[in-house]
């Protein structure tokens, strides 16, 4: 577009800078796994591989493109291109799957500890002695490892109130 106002460029944005941050508008972003569209937009590049540290220097346009397949999209063609690159519903599916695994492990750990206490963890339990104490210690460790309330990380699961629900 020459001489006119770019309707896809936010007010106050300047330049053709790769960073895209600080009010700039990224129009060419081939580095870092992204591509600019011929008619605007920023898209993930499915032909590149990434690393766990890629996101550390990304701006919000790049984060959106990594999750949604594209960013700054204004046309149906751009949205179709983005859908062919990334499907944000896969994050939702991964979150619900991890949450299911977490809750299952927690139930298994709780059930194991409850059964262990019946067998060896109470004064009136049938199994007593050093082996019973070691058995209870092992089951206590398993129960703690599978319980999210004793862990320092936050529980797994999809974010609440997200627009990417599949059901």
- Please name the residue that has the structure tokens 């300047």: 14
Cα separation, 89 vs 138, in Å, equals 39
Mean pLDDT in each 10-residue stretch from start to end of the chain (167 residues)? 39 40 43 79 86 83 90 92 90 91 88 94 93 94 76 54 48
For the full predicted model, state whether its pTM sits above 0.85: no
Question: In the chain, what are the domain boundaries?
Answer: 55-87, 89-150
Contact call for residues 40 and 13 (beta carbons, < 8 A): no
Cα separation, 7 vs 87, in Å, equals 26
């Amino acid at each position: 577009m020459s001489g006119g106002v770019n309707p896809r460029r936010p007010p106050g944005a300047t330049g053709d800078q790769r960073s895209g941050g600080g009010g700039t508008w990224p129009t060419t972003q081939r580095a870092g796994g992204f591509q600019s569209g011929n008619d605007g937009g920023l898209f993930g590049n499915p032909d590149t591989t990434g690393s766990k540290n890629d996101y550390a220097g990304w701006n919000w346009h790049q984060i959106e493109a990594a999750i949604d397949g594209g960013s700054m999209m204004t046309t149906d063609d751009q949205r179709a291109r983005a859908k062919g690159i990334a499907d944000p519903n896969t994050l939702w599916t991964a979150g619900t799957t991890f949450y299911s695994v977490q809750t299952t492990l927690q139930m298994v750990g709780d059930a194991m500890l409850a059964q262990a206490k019946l067998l060896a963890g109470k004064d009136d339990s049938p199994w007593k002695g050093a082996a019973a104490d070691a058995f209870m210690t092992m089951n206590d460790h398993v129960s703690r490892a599978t319980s999210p309330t004793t862990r320092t990380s936050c529980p797994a699961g999809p974010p609440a109130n997200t627009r990417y629900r599949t059901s």
